[in-house]
Amino acid sequence: MDQKNSLSDVEVTVNGTRKFAVPTHETLLSSLTKAGIMLEAACGGQGFCGKCRIRLLSGQVVDQQGSPLKPGQDGWYLACQVYPGEDLVLERAIQVSVSSKGEISDPFLEQADLLPPLKKVLIRPVYPSLENNYSLQEMIRQVFAGEEDISIELRAVQELALIAPQKFEEITVLRSFKQIIGFEPGDTSSTLYGVAFDLGTTTVAGMLVDLQKGKVIAAAAETNPQTAYGADVIARIKAAGTEDELNTLMSAVRKCLNDLVAKLCARAGVANKDIYLVTVAGNSTMEHLLMGVSPKYLTVSPYVPVFNNLPHFSASAIELDLNPGASFILLPNIAGFVGADTVAAIVGVDQDLTSKLTLLIDLGTNGEIVLGNKEKMLVCSTAAGPAFEGAQLSSGMRAANGAIDEVEIRDDVCVHTVKEELARGICGSGVIKAIAEFLKAGIITPSGRFVSNDRFALLPPKLSKRLKVQEGQKEFVLVFAEESASGRDIAITQGDIREIQLVKSSIFTGIETLMENYGVMFKDIEQVLLAGAFGNNLNLDSALAIGLLPSAERKKILPVGNAAGTGAVKALLSVDILERCRSIAQRAQFVELANHPGFQAKFIKNLTFPEGV
């Protein structure tokens, strides 16, 4: 066996950056895992969870017997089911995934050189003597001689004063850019953690990162507590009308960040005081609210933010319970409704580095679209998400337990719910799948209308009795009251379908407008990256069926998971990436859709669903 191993090693290249030898007798999942590339494999490599997906750019994979295999319908293989038949160049589905060791791996992270903006520097101070009667401040400055403008923060001076009389041989200096932010006696350089926050309108995600190793060691998410004050940014801005209200919303989200820090620390067994750096990527409104800056101006034409790029602060400025000297970096905004989350998503997928013409669609509560590459990027924002996230629909809910997330319509309706609990409502992916099924079954027309009662009567009887009229509006019941957890019908109304049409048209029209501005067509686009918490769960077939993207582009589409989160993590790890964020915020050109000639006409045209699904 050993001999076979060495004889049959082939070379695998992953995501263009990692290259290593793997044996032909092991599944790719196993080999990649050993090489430190963690794929999600919820079923433990048994081939049914469908998460360990890879795509071949060159080479051939085989089954255990050595027979060549073809990819699945979507162009992907499952790494747990295939063996390398020869040298391979492959891509894997990009998704921050937790390994069994609790370490989280992301291929884009692996590419980042570790140059965190916060460093621990171990020094052996030369204490003042009668010959060298400099101040302690000068003693430290001499260590960083040649860096004229380095300065020591007051808190750090206070710490230095407390530890210096004990004349430790070694002192660990905490350094953030040109500022010394803390001192610790002895050598503490092995513990240095950061937290990256993806501050969404609906969901706040936190990633705890070991800054020495460049690894995400824990991840957690919470519902943004501001949702109690409105589902979307406009509602939030209204809710923060007075200074008191602004403070309320500010405090709510700051508390949420602290709750996440507590969760992350508990999960990873890390102490708050060992977290020294924070990055936050949020949309402009979320960033304004976090910083206690009134977002009112965002609602005044021409809808600009108060700030794009704030200097680095102490994390205590936003009341985070971390090391008292911890630094806090708010990633920069591009425009009023294209925030730092988009900047982070761009660096998350390296769109600013690639020469490939890339379409990045980040679907959250808002939908941001970026078209371009390292030469030029156009961005726009659409009011995408609440409907896609299940909000603003008559039976909508988030993808929590009991949410309908799968719908199949043949003779009757068959639904699947999260955790297979009794149905409580329908989440975004369920709605889209339902509408795709409606189209296929002829329940609605491409115009989005329920077919006439006459034609409805021609459907299988179990379907026809699901059409009801409530308060003068047609609706199609997916789960009747007697079978639902709520005791009420779970239905999709004509209004719900209109809501989804508005959203899908917004996004599609946004894409069209950017393409027109860029002077390109769909065929010119080399890759379509689908990002966002929603991008992950999106049933791609359904999305194409309802016309979110042209079906012809299917092969170019790559789901990239929480790209903004990845970007926020990368920003923790490298000053170069922070610099890229600043550069993107300045270079990316914002396209205001509403003012764009022809936007209205395009928007109305795109309300229609595709024919002949």
Query: In this complex, which beta carbon is closest to a copy of itself, that of residue 161 or of residue 414?
Result: 161
Shortest Cβ 278–a copy of itself spacing (Å): 15
The residue from 66, 68, 146, 165 that contacts a copy of itself (CB under 8 A) is: 165
**Among residues 95, 201, 272, 308, the one that binds a copy of itself under rule CB under 8 A:** 308
CB of 284 to a copy of itself, least distance (A): 9
The first and second tokens of residue 387, run together, are: 């409907």
Is 431:396 a contact under the CB 8 Å cutoff? yes
Contact pick of 297, 485, 488, 575 for a copy of itself (by CB under 8 A): 297
Of the candidate residues 134, 144, 168, 229, the single one contacting a copy of itself (CB under 8 A): 134
Cβ atoms within 10 Å of 551's Cβ, excluding its own: 12
> With helix as H, strand as E and coil as C, how does 20-71 read?
EEECCCCCHHHHHHHCCCCCCCCCCCCCCCCCCEEEEEECCEECCCCCECCC
Q: Cβ of residue 178: shortest distance to a copy of itself, in angstroms?
A: 11
Using CB under 8 A as the binding rule, whether residue 135 contacts a copy of itself is answered as yes
Under the binding rule (CB under 8 A), the answer on residue 524 touching a copy of itself is no
160 part of the interface to a copy of itself, by CB under 8 A: yes
* 175 versus 288: smaller Cβ distance to a copy of itself: 288
- Residue 501 per-residue DSSP state: H
Considering only the stretches 23-31, 156-164, 516-524, 566-574, report the one whose residues sit in contact with a copy of itself under the rule CB under 8 A.
156-164
63 binds a copy of itself (CB under 8 A): no
Part in contact with a copy of itself (CB under 8 A); list of ranges 84-92, 110-118, 275-283, 303-311: 303-311
Q: Which is nearer to a copy of itself, 107 or 305 (CB)?
A: 305
User: Least CB distance from residue 153 to a copy of itself, whole Å?
Assistant: 8
Q: Report the Cα 55 to chain-centroid distance in Å.
A: 21
Of the candidate spans 296-304, 416-424, 458-466, 516-524, the one that interacts with a copy of itself by CB under 8 A turns out to be 296-304
Place of tokens 């049914």: 48
219's tokens: 């991840």
- The verdict on 279 binding a copy of itself (CB under 8 A) reads no
Give the contact letters, 319-338, x = binds to a copy of itself (CB under 8 A), - = no. Answer: --------------x-xx--
Cα–Cα distance, 253 to 202 (Å, whole number) = 11
Instruction: Judge whether 333 and 339 are in contact, CB under 8 Å.
Output: yes
Q: Based on the shown chain and the rule CB under 8 A, indicate whether residue 145 belongs to the binding site for a copy of itself.
A: no
Which of residues 144, 313, 480, 522 is near a copy of itself by CB under 8 A?
313
Residue with tokens 């009389």: 165
Q: Is 295 in the site for a copy of itself (CB under 8 A)?
A: yes
Between 214 and 282, CB nearer to a copy of itself: 282
Residue 466 binds a copy of itself, judged by CB under 8 A: no
Q: Which residues contact 327 (CB under 8 A, 6 or more apart)?
A: 117, 118, 176, 177, 179, 181, 276, 277, 278, 312, 313, 314, 315
From 128-136, 446-454, 515-523, 598-606, span contacting a copy of itself (CB under 8 A): 128-136
Site size for a copy of itself (CB under 8 A)? 48
List the strands of the sheet with 589-590, edge to edge.
557-561, 527-531, 358-363, 367-372, 377-382, 589-590
Give residues with Cβ within 8 angstroms of 338, minimum separation 6. Answer: 283, 284, 368, 379, 380, 381, 588, 590
**Amino acid code (one letter) for 316:** S
Three-class DSSP labels, 141-207: HHHCCCCCCCEECHHHHHHHHHHHHHCCCCEEEEEECCEEEEEEECCCCCCCEEEEEEECCCEEEEE
How far is the C-alpha of 260 from the C-alpha of 539, rounded, in Å? Answer: 29
- Positions that interact with a copy of itself (CB under 8 A): 128-130, 133-138, 151-152, 154, 157-158, 160-162, 164-165, 243, 288, 291-297, 300-311, 313, 317, 333, 335-336, 590, 592, 595
